[in-house]
Amino acid sequence: MKLSHDLAGSGPLTVLLLHSGVCDRRMWDGQFHALAEAGHRVVRCDLRGFGDTPIDTPHVHAEDVRALLDHLGVERVALVGSSFGGRVALELAALHPDRVSALALLAPGIPGMVPSSELRAWGAREDALLEAGDLDAAVELNVDTWLGPEAGPDARAFVREAQRRAFDLQLAAAEEHHPTAPEVTRDDLARIRVPALVAVGAHDLPDFRAVADELGRLLPAARRVDLDWAGHLPALERPDETARLLAAFLAGAADRDPAPGASVE
């Protein structure tokens, strides 16, 4: 089974958008067509257990993404990842460096991330609500935690719907079908040489500002951008501004990777 996905645009650079762990591919509505209009082939997908992609087999998210690229005939791709999607992007770049031409990471996670006491407390609260069967409260916990002050009612309604869908899919999955995290070390990450943008919000949890600090040290070609208005999901909080940020970065990345990828059909 391939990941559910959408395609738009054409151009020498293929861009793949990877959603956060509380969203699905629709989180990129504010950037998907804008990046296509900027002259890129753009793909967005639902990882297993999100949106329109069910969980039906044991899986590794990064390898699912690689399989999608194979299915589409894409040799090299610029990855844009939000939060959990950023971690998957880093895993793919570490495991298959020849497939990745650039990384744009918005409040990314990182392989082997050790949560702070604040993040562990949030996780414990979510687990308790799910164990009690109170999915509505667990959804609201995520909405309140992950959206910053710029998020409007439409963004909150979307995360509410997408997170509930993810809970429904993931809680229904057989335990043996749960995802496996690949073995990716800090040394593996330090070997990622492609241009990288790391954006982090001033209103996000401290864990993700710490991740941005670490990636700034690890990735030789990283450029950090601090967003003083953003929480954890800038793509939903200021869609147009995030689209401009990504378009500017990807234009530069395309200049530095002139060899066209295979076409998307």
pLDDT tens-digit profile of 20-46? 999 999 999 999 999 999 999 999 999
Name the pLDDT band for 262 (thresholds 50, 70, 90): very low
The average confidence (pLDDT) of the chain is 93
pLDDT tens-digit profile of 97-148? 999 999 999 999 999 899 999 999 999 999 999 999 999 999 999 999 999 9
Name the pLDDT band for 175 (thresholds 50, 70, 90): confident
pLDDT tens-digit profile of 207-248? 999 999 999 999 999 999 999 999 999 999 999 999 999 999
pLDDT at 178: 78
pLDDT at 257: 57
Residues 44, 47, 49, 53, CA torsion sign: positive
Percent of the chain clearing pLDDT 70 (strictly above): 95
Over residues 248-263, the mean pLDDT reads: 64
Q: How many CB atoms lie within 10 A of CB 248?
A: 12
CB 33 within 8 A of CB 44: no
Considering the entire predicted model, what is its pTM?
Answer: 0.94
Of residues 252 and 230, more confidence is placed in: 230
CA distance 1 to 22: 22
Over residues 201-211, the mean pLDDT reads: 97
The token duo for 157 is 């309604």
Helices 135-146/117-131 angle, 10° precision: 160
- For the cut 70, the answer to whether the pLDDT of residue 1 exceeds it is no
Over residues 139-161, the mean pLDDT reads: 97
DSSP state, 262?
P
Domains annotated on the chain, with CATH: 5-256 (3.40.50.1820)
- For the cut 80, the answer to whether the pLDDT of residue 263 exceeds it is no
pLDDT at 58: 87
Calculate the alpha carbon distances from 102 to 53, 89, 115, 172, 250 in Å: 25, 10, 27, 35, 8
pLDDT at 224: 97
